[in-house]
Amino acid sequence: MQRVPEPEELMDDPMQAQAYAEADFDGPNHLFIDLLECQARKRRLQGCLLDLGCGPADISIALAMRHSELQIDALDGAQAMLDLARGRISAQPRCAERIRLVCDHLPSVGLARHGYDWVVSNSLLHHLPDPAVLWQTLRQCARPGATVLIMDLARPHSQAALDGLVETHASNAPEVLRRDFRNSLHAAYRIDEVADQLNSADLTMLHVAMVSDRHLAVQGQLA
């Protein structure tokens, strides 16, 4: 099945952002955190972490709550999403001072150059008109030896498989989320396409694999 890029729009409509923020993403979020903590193994999650495409900051908040020595920069291009994130962060005084919200697009001039020990992203890659900008940002922002976790949807091989995923995971979701999920699956990349992106960006120390029935993940440490 051929890739179909998403419409070039951010979730700046407050109603759309609210519907997204109220959706149940606990499963993918927990998977993401488990993958990151598994990569860390016996190392503590501490230092500076960059969360690209943070949305309402659910993952940033969860990581800050679980790891008290993390300082997090959470970036998103949609102000409506960050407004929701700000409300959620303010309700968590244990971590509010350790999360900085950044409203910007990639490439961003507001991020610390080679300043991050951890660079993570959940479901941003397929939204980008040019995927190379994500890998360039990774190169520019991560310190040598930084741990990387980029998780995203993986494009199904057929329309029937795509329809099955929508029915399985979004049958009871609001129509706006069903539409967005369908568009996102059409816009997502396959494992071989992401591997080609990593080769082009000279990031062959990272590896990509399927981690669920609809997600792939790029993981590893920068040289």
Per-residue confidence (pLDDT) for residue 174, from 0 to 100: 85
Region 4-17: what's the mean pLDDT? Answer: 67
Q: Which domains does the chain have, with CATH numbers?
A: 14-152+189-221 (3.40.50.150)
29-78 tens-digit pLDDT = 999 999 999 998 867 899 999 999 999 999 999 999 999 999 999 999 99
- Exposure pattern of 54-81 as b/e (b: 16+ CB <10 Å)? bbbbbbbbbbbeebeebebbbbbbbebb
154-200 tens-digit pLDDT = 999 999 999 999 999 998 888 888 988 999 999 999 999 999 999 99
Mean pLDDT of the chain: 92
To 5 degrees, how large is the angle CA 122–CA 14–CA 176? 65
Per-residue confidence (pLDDT) for residue 167, from 0 to 100: 96
Region 190-211: what's the mean pLDDT? Answer: 98
pLDDT score of 11 more than 60: no
The answer to pTM > 0.75 is yes
For the beta carbon of residue 131, count every other beta carbon within 10 angstroms: 20
